[in-house]
Amino acid sequence: MVLQGNILVIDDDIPIQNLLHDFLSESGYNVITSSNPQTALEKLKETSVDLIITDLMMPGMNGMDLLKAVRFCSPNIPVVMITAYQSVDTAVKATKEGASDFISKPFSLEQIKFVVKKAMEDGKLRKQQKRRSTDKTKEAETIGFMSQNLQEKIRELSALYTISETLHYPLTMVELFEKVVELASSITESEKAGVWLFDRENKELTLKATKGMEMLLGRSFPVVDAGLVGEVFTEKRYCLSQDHKTCMCGTSRIDFKHPFLGVPILIGKEIFAALHLCQKIGGTHFSSNDVSIMTSLAEKASIKIENLALYEQLIDNIMYSISSLIKATDARDNYTMNHCKRVTMYAVKLAKALRCSADIIDTLNLAGPIHDVGKIGVRDNILLKQGGLDKTERDVMKTHATIGDDIVMSLNLGPEGKAVVRNHHERFDGDGYPDGLKGAAIPLIARIFAIADTYDAMTSNRPYRTARSHEETIAELLRCRGTQYDGDVVDIFVKHDICKEDLGSKMQNIKCEI
């Protein structure tokens, strides 16, 4: 194999250093490695190097200082920076100091391959320009090129930062596809864009999100009839056409009057979906930077898709376990199950009135129906007693909070979900159970649930007492604001009249719960 050039890899992370050495060696490069920037500079004096790949954060001399030293002694050697910190300011600073490119961890080997190839070409171009720079005109051309290259790189880094920030937030699959289309069309200034989902069994593509092609949204087409879009799926790599072409989608002809770019979204080594772009504003071509940025966008999307799939599987497992626990609770005490349903409904309404996050709402819906699951561990003669409980019996009943906490430990409900089960009987003044938490030390989700729980308990008929009215219950909550309950949460509960509208239907069904 003919060597394609010498690459100096500098990284104090030995596994990363070895990974780059093996991959680049297999790709035909002679790779020199170093864990120490000072040692690397000595090697640079002794060996001809075509490209330097260096980590940004290293002990002693960091990557930025190394970059300055390289620029001083060997200004024409391209330098690629690698970092685990996604900061657009750091990336721009490194680019201004002369870095040829900038890669954020975690990275793919395909990304390394693409960046190395581009940097090597940049290095060759720099050498050619150095040989031609014999007068001021040539110097001006070089400065102009570097300025343009700098602007391109800053644009690329800003785009990658925007992608990371946008896809960081929780999204459904549909929202993810829509965000990918929005980002891709904006960054590349394309008039048309779309995400196509692959049906492996039927060998069909379905347009799941789009800009400029709404008439095809939701439609499916055989891969073999999908023209340039189909090529992305069959080849499992990006497809770039700078010429005018027509893409056949079933019986519908989609005329791409301007250049076309298609990028696969891979899960592992299998293609899951594809992003396509066409008709750039002004009819300009897609650049190598466009290809690089869209490849990064597809990689970020694939990671998000994998995380969504794992999350949905986890939720399915949790819901199955919760369903089993609810059935077990109902078999012991029908009142407890229906009480749990109502309290969950009230708590969700109160959380929405408090403008809690979607995560809190989801947790209430998951943990609320089983907040009293610990009553499974309470003896029937206490749980189902047709009268009030004495002190000893009350102490036994209180253990349901810790028993419930033990039961749900394996459900991965997270700290907020566990707080619903364990801490919904804590008091704001610290006199509650089981942990005697006080004030803000009680998780907000448990403070919300305590009010909803009390409201339903007081407005429910029990064998040993009749239900109180809505007005009487509200008066009791207000009387205990700041002592038993969080006053601010009580005020929102009362202000929004959270439960009054549901009380009528509840009273119609209350007899069947006794």
φ and ψ at residue 488, rounded to 5 degrees = -65, -40
Query: What is the spatial distance between Cα 206 and Cα 223, in angstroms, rounded to a whole number?
Result: 10
- The residue that leads in pLDDT, 463 or 23, is 23
* One domain for residues 348 and 497: yes
Element (H, E) at 204: strand 204-211
- Is pLDDT of 501 > 80? no
Whether the predicted pLDDT of 510 surpasses 50 = no
* Long-range Cβ contacts of 468-474 (<8 Å, 24+ apart): 470/499, 470/500, 470/503
Element (H, E) at 345: helix 334-353
8 Å CB contact between 435 and 423: yes
Nearest Cα residue to 258 out of 279, 229, 287:
279
What does the pLDDT read at residue 266?
A: 83
Name the helix (H) or strand (E) containing 507. Answer: helix 500-509
Residue 230, domain member (yes or no):
yes
Most confident of 118-127, 302-311, 474-483: 474-483
Highest mean pLDDT among 239-253, 369-383, 391-405: 391-405
Which of 98, 132, 167 is the C-terminal boundary of a domain?
167
Q: Is residue 320 part of a domain?
A: no
- Altogether, the residues listed in the chain come to a count of 514
Taking only the tens place, the pLDDT of each residue in 62-73 is 878 888 888 888
Q: What percent of the chain has pLDDT over 90?
A: 20
Average pLDDT over residues 166-175: 67
Asked whether 251 and 273 are in contact (CB, 8 A), the reply is no
Q: Where is the domain boundary, 256, 274, 308?
A: 308
Tokens of 257: 């009057």
What pLDDT score does 318 carry? 63
Place of tokens 């919760």: 322
| 326 falls within a domain | no
Q: What is the pLDDT of residue 86?
A: 54
What pLDDT is stored for residue 412 in this prediction? Answer: 73
Residue in 512, 511, 454, 502 with CA at minimum distance from that of residue 481: 454
pLDDT of residue 475: 93
For residues 412 and 453, membership in a common domain is answered with yes
29 and 138 share one domain: yes
The whole-number pLDDT of residue 509 equals: 45
First vs last Cα of the chain: how many Å apart?
84
pLDDT band, residue 254 (cuts 50/70/90): low
Give the range with max mean pLDDT: 72-86, 335-349, 404-418, 464-478: 464-478
Per-residue model confidence (pLDDT) at position 247:
46
Q: What is the mean pLDDT of residues 252-261?
A: 64
Task: Say if residue 513's pLDDT is above 70.
Answer: no
DSSP reduced 3-state for 48: coil
In terms of domains, do 225 and 362 share one?
no
Clarify whether residues 22 and 126 are in a common domain.
yes
Co-location of 409 and 444 in the same domain: yes
pLDDT tens column, 36-65: 888 888 888 888 888 899 888 887 788 788
Q: Average pLDDT in the 2-20 region?
A: 86
Residues 295 and 350 in one domain: no
Name which of 7-11, 29-33, 168-172, 395-399 the model is least confident about. 168-172
CATH code where residue 356 lies: 1.10.3210.10
pLDDT for the residue numbered 508: 42
Q: How many helices and strands, by DSSP H and E, does the chain display?
A: 19, 13
Q: In the structure, what pLDDT confidence band is assigned to residue 352 with cuts at 50, 70 and 90?
A: very high
324 occurs within a structural domain: no
Please give the backbone phi and psi of residue 429, each rounded to the nearest 5 degrees, phi first.
-90, 0
Mean pLDDT over 336-357 rounds to 88
Residues sharing a CB contact under 8 Å with residue 47, sequence separation 6 or more, in sequence order? 6, 8, 32
Mean pLDDT of the chain: 80
Q: DSSP of 104-170, one letter per residue? A: ESS--HHHHHHHHHHHHHHHHHHHHHHHH--SHHHHHHHHHHHHHHHHHHHHHHHHHHHHHHHHTS-
pLDDT, mean of residues 375-392: 84
CB 95 within 8 A of CB 150: yes
Give residue 461's pLDDT: 80
Least confident of 1-15, 154-168, 184-198, 223-237: 154-168
Domain count, the chain: 3
- Of 2-11, 84-93, 448-457, which gets the smallest average pLDDT? 84-93
pLDDT value at position 252? Answer: 45
How is residue 274 annotated by DSSP? E
Domain stops at, among 143, 167, 191? 167
Q: Which structural domain range is residue 149 located in?
A: 6-167
Q: Is the pLDDT of residue 133 over 90?
A: no
Is it the case that residue 511 has pLDDT exceeding 70?
A: no
- Identify the pLDDT of residue 69: 87
**Confidence (pLDDT) at 497:** 84
